[in-house]
Amino acid sequence: MLPSRTFWAVTAALALALAGCNKKAEKKDDKPPAAEAPAEGAAEGAMMSSPDADIPAPKDVAAPPADAEKTASGLASKVLTKGTGDKKPAPHDKVKVDYTGWTTDGKMFDSSIKRGRPATFGVKGVIPGWTEALQLMVVGEKRRLWIPEILAYKGRPGSPQGMLVFEVELLEIIPGVAPIPAPDDVAAAPADAKKTKSGIAYKEIEPAAADGKAPNEWDQVEVEYTGWTTDGNMFDSSTKRGKSAKFPLNKVIPGWTEGVQLMKTGQKMRFWIPEELAYKGRPGAPKGMLVFDIKLLNVEEKPAPPETPKDVAKPPRNAKKTDTGLAYKVLKKGTGEAKPTETDKVEVHYTGWTTDGRMFDSSVTRGSTTTFAVNRVIPGWTEGVQLMREGDKMRFWIPEELAYKGKPGAPQGMLVFDVELIKIVK
């Protein structure tokens, strides 16, 4: 997961609302489609509907017998068939298994055996009881598991409830790529780390190139990186994926935007980024202070952002206003005669600000114009662009009801745009 804000502005997606508010998420490796299901292809809590008879439950399905092994977490298990292998799966591996699952009243709710095909999935991509149990097994081994609800579906609606019983046979271990070990100082910044006023701590790991170049916040950068939580858990790594990451520096978490500007190409730094400069407790994102090793590979310079208009807070007296509440004024007259209709496409340059002067999107800083259908953007743009001729540059004050209407994650309130109509595309 690239450390991204809820960024609406990627390739003009937000300002033009071509596809609503965009949040780009990086694809995780080794994650099965049913990330909490016992096995890949088994829908959560899905009951089997084959006409064949269910596989009978074991006699001890109601509770673990006295000879079952029990772990500190509450997982109970019993070896039914000894394996022939000597290696156990690691959390980063995948496994191929055959299995059957029952509730403690003896009702079978899932079985790869009944489906006639084994299941393959990541060891960490399943319910906690499976993740723990699989790491106890060797290839060829068959175990019966009694998994308490807290290690299974935790009462989730639509899933099997209570303690679950599984018989699992480990058929194959498919080696994965081990996570990159956390640095020794992952828990807290060491004494030799520097600190910015905002609270970011950092230290150099590798020096910059002799001709190293520092980025500005509006530039595009290419980096290699790995991120850990302060307990040493790696949650993301372009290095592990074997592919560098490229992104506009002002479209990532604040700690990255600030921190990477302290670097020069060729340099590698370690950053300790406090939560308020990272994901701010956002559900599903890594929590607390985060630690990143970042190597700056390349800087692609982009044009500096336009200056914030002095009249950004509200329309001036000389602005015109339409019946809908859209205010506008001409900044530069064009040479064209025709105006676009709502069924046309147009090519434009634009920059958008909130009324407190914060720029949230700009084709100018990306260094490329944007083309879109006039009737496929926010209402204020659809109306405003039809007032323009080729070559015109206008400033629009778009009230919230003609913009994003309070949609979560999108810019709020009245928005101000400078728009230059480059061309009407018939």
Res. 250 pLDDT band, cuts 50 70 90: confident
> Are residues 325 and 230 part of one domain?
no
Q: H helices then E strands: how many in the chain? A: 7, 21
Q: Are residues 209 and 103 in the same domain?
A: no
- The pLDDT score that the predictor gives to residue 249 is 93
At 421, phi and psi to the nearest 5?
A: -85, 105
Residue 136 lies in a domain: yes
**How large is the average pLDDT for residues 23-39?**
36
The domain boundary, picked from 300, 335, 354, lies at: 300
- Does residue 35 register a pLDDT over 50? no
Question: Looking at the predicted structure, is the pLDDT value of residue 4 above 60?
Answer: no
pLDDT bucket at 3, cuts 50 / 70 / 90: low
Catalytically annotated residues: 99, 109-110, 127, 153, 166
Do 184 and 290 share a domain, yes or no?
Answer: yes
CA separation, residue 45 to residues 110, 147, 175, 321 (Å): 8, 15, 28, 57
Residue 25 lies in a domain: no
- Over pLDDT 90: what percentage of the chain? 79
The domain spanning residue 392 has which CATH number? 3.10.50.40
Query: Looking at 265, 300, 335, which one is the last position of a domain?
Result: 300
Per-residue confidence band for 22, with pLDDT thresholds at 50, 70 and 90: very low
Over range 287-302, report the average pLDDT: 97
Compute the average pLDDT of residues 154-167. Answer: 95
Averaged pLDDT, 281-293: 93
pLDDT band for 40, please (50, 70, 90 cuts): very low
CA-to-CA distance for 46 and 109, rounded, in angstroms? 7
Domain that holds residue 87: 69-174
Domain boundary among 144, 174, 204: 174
Residues written for the chain: 426
| Mean pLDDT to the nearest integer, 231-257 | 94
In a domain, residue 393? The reply is: yes
What mean pLDDT comes out for the span 351-366?
A: 93
The pLDDT, as a whole number, for residue 232 is 95
Average pLDDT, the chain: 88
Q: Are residues 167 and 83 in the same domain?
A: yes
> Is 293 found in the same domain as 202?
yes
Say yes or no: 153 and 194 in one domain: no
Q: Which residues of 290-307 are buried (b: 16+ CB within 10 A; e: fewer)?
A: bbbbbbbbebeebeebee
Instruction: Calculate mean pLDDT across residues 57-73.
Output: 97
The strand pairing partners of 273, in sequence order, are: 290
Residue 166 exposure: Cα atoms within 13 Å on the Cβ side: 31
User: Could you give the CA distance from residue 97 to residue 169 in angstroms, rounded to a whole number?
Assistant: 6
For the chain, how many structural domains are there in total? Answer: 3
Q: Could you tell me the pLDDT band of residue 85, with boundaries at 50, 70 and 90?
A: confident
Judge if 202 and 148 occupy the same domain.
no
Share of the chain above pLDDT 70, in %: 88
Write out the two tokens for 410.
Answer: 């999108």
pLDDT at 122 over 60: yes
CB atoms inside a 10 Å sphere around CB 70: 11
Q: Are residues 161 and 265 in the same domain?
A: no
Please report, as a single letter, which amino acid is at residue 171: L
